[in-house]
């Protein structure tokens, strides 16, 4: 189970600009191993190279340099139709002139299978994705969610070595997106099928992935489990991209064993457990999530601040505060029903558990 299904080594992709001689580096020095049965997500803003990477695995783009291994075999020079991959497209790419049955069994035309086996296989897969009875419909007659299922079934039926997802849920409405997301994950786990998933939606990435690759400007920022990415971002970019975050900048003022103090300028935080190698006087950024912060009446907490905005969001109150150094931070007060409310313009005090802080060294 723990063998490498997909390996990308030192992948670089350079596009030539159509108008000038400029070159655009879409993907740079990309390295990734996907274990068999694992679902790995490429996450990043648009233009970060995630889709290009996916398309290189599928064979729609050829890397400018580097190798792609599927089950240990270098497939970089193999055309897309000879690669054992199957993709679920953003716009589904269903064949509008074919029935659902023909769509789903299309990939089986290129395998040595008799009609009976094809039928049986299609029946099985349609039951799996909940499309039984739709064999003779046309794609145009199905809802968005159903079309999505057809796209999924069509990719699953060929039993690819790796299943590729290119922002498959972006055309669905919010509710449907959530349920399809869970369904895809359930199926993927049940069939234990190796998957590479591209999205720009961090919630989607967190909820569906075994591991997430955060990309920015063609390069990998961080690879890790959803929890690692969320709580222990390697860079400010990762911290900022995944959920709401507060940055406090400061300087290491004291170092004792693996405990450090950080001077914020207007106050000092003591006894932070050191997680990375830091020197005295080094500039650092403290990363703290809004839900980690605790509000109290002015003077009863650690840092004083002024409320400049508050927003009620149902399950929590979001306060925007101005710190003494004019820095703006966000605090989420979860389940606010019986908690004290603070008014705009008023003073509050902010505290946080020291072990929920994450430190990033400034370059």
Partner 1 sequence: MKKNKDSITRITVAVIFSLIALFVVYPLIKVIIESVMPNGSFSLSEYKYIFQKEWLRRTFFNSIKLGVIVATSSTIVGYIAAYSLYKVKLPGRSFFRQIVMLPLISPPFMLTISIILLLGRNGLITKKILGITSYSIYGLHGLVLVQTLCMFPIAYRVLTGVLARISPELENAALNLGSTKSYVFRSITFPLSIPGVASAWLLVFVTSIADFANPMVIAGNYDVLSVQAYLQFTGMYNIPRGSALAIMLLVPAFIAFVVEKYWISRKSFITVTGKPTGAKQDMVSPTTKNLLLGFLSSLTFVILLFYLTVIAGSFFKLWGIDYSLTLEHFKYSWDVGFDSIKDTIFLASVATPFTGMLGMIIAYLVVRKNFYGKHILQFSSLLSFAVPGTVVGIGYVLAFNEKPFLLTGTAAIIILCFIFRNMPVGLEAGIASLKQIDPSIEEASTDLGADSAYTFRKITLPLIKPAFFSGLSYSFVRAMTAVSAIIFLVSARWNHLTTLILAQTEIMRLGAASVLSLILIAIVMFVFYLMGKFIGDDEDLSEMMT
Which residues of the shown chain bind partner 1 in the complex (CB under 8 A)?
58-62, 77-82, 85-87, 89-97, 106-107, 109-111, 138, 140, 151, 154-155, 158
Residue 107: CB minimum distance to partner 1, A = 3
Residue 74: CB minimum distance to partner 1, A = 14
88/248 with CB nearer partner 1: 88
Residue 220: CB minimum distance to partner 1, A = 24
103/209 with CB nearer partner 1: 103
Residue 160: CB minimum distance to partner 1, A = 9
**What is the separation of C-alpha 191 from the centre of its chain, rounded to a whole number of angstroms?**
22
63/224 with CB nearer partner 1: 63
> Are 83 and 55 in contact, with CB atoms under 8 Å apart?
no
Q: Hunting for tokens 């108008």 — which residue is that?
A: 19
> Are 145 and 180 in contact, with CB atoms under 8 Å apart?
yes
Say how far apart CA 219 and CA 130 lie, in whole Å. 38
Neighbours of 286 (CB within 10 A): 18
111/340 with CB nearer partner 1: 111
Reported as type and span, the H/E element at residue 102 is: helix 100-105
Residue 40: CB minimum distance to partner 1, A = 19
**What contacts 138, CB < 8 A, 6 or more positions away?**
96, 98, 99, 100
Residue 134: CB minimum distance to partner 1, A = 17
79/346 with CB nearer partner 1: 79
Alpha helix ranges (H) inside 157-266:
174-191, 202-208, 226-231, 236-241
DSSP 181-208: HHHHHHHHHHHT--EEEEES-HHHHHHH
44/160 with CB nearer partner 1: 160
- Our CA angle for 361, 279, 234, nearest 5°, is 20
Classify burial at 113, counting beta carbons within 10 Å of its beta carbon; exposed 0-12, middle 13-18, buried 19 or more.
middle
Residue 352: CB minimum distance to partner 1, A = 47
140/257 with CB nearer partner 1: 140
Say how far apart CA 236 and CA 284 lie, in whole Å. 11
106/302 with CB nearer partner 1: 106
> Are 163 and 156 in contact, with CB atoms under 8 Å apart?
yes
Residue 60: CB minimum distance to partner 1, A = 6
């Amino acid at each position: 189970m723990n063998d490498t299904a997909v390996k990308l080594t030192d992948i670089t992709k350079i596009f030539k600009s159509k108008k000038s001689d400029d070159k655009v580096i879409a993907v740079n020095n990309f390295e990734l191993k996907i274990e068999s049965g694992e679902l790995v997500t490429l996450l990043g803003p648009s233009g970060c190279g995630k889709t290009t990477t996916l398309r290189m695995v599928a064979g729609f783009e050829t890397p400018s340099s580097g190798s792609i291994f599927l089950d240990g075999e270098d497939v970089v020079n193999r055309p897309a139709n000879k690669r054992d991959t199957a993709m679920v497209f953003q716009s589904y790419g269903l064949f509008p002139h074919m029935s659902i049955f023909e769509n789903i069994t299309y990939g089986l035309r290129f395998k040595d299978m008799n009609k009976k086996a094809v039928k049986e296989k299609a029946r099985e897969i349609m039951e799996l994705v909940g499309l039984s009875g739709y064999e003779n419909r046309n794609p145009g007659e199905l809802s968005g969610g159903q079309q999505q299922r057809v796209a999924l079934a069509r990719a699953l039926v060929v039993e690819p070595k790796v299943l590729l997802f290119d922002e498959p849920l972006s055309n669905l409405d919010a509710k449907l997106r959530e349920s399809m997301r869970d369904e895809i994950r359930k199926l993927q786990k049940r069939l234990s099928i190796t998957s590479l998933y591209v999205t720009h939606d961090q919630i989607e990435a967190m909820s569906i992935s075994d591991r997430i690759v955060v990309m920015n400007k063609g390069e990998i920022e961080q690879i890790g489990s959803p929890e690692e990415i969320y709580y222990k971002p390697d860079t400010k970019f990762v911290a900022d991209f995944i959920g709401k975050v507060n940055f406090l900048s400061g300087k290491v003022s004291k170092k004792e064993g693996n405990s450090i103090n950080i001077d914020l300028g207007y106050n000092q935080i003591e006894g932070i457990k050191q997680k990375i190698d830091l020197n005295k006087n080094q500039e650092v950024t403290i990363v703290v999530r809004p839900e980690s912060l605790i509000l109290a009446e002015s003077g009863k907490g650690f840092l004083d601040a002024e409320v400049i905005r508050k927003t009620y969001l149902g399950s929590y109150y979001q306060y925007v505060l101005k710190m003494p150094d004019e820095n703006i931070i966000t605090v989420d007060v979860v389940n606010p029903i019986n908690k004290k409310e603070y008014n705009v313009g008023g003073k509050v005090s902010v505290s946080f558990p020291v072990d929920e802080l994450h430190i990033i060294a400034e370059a």
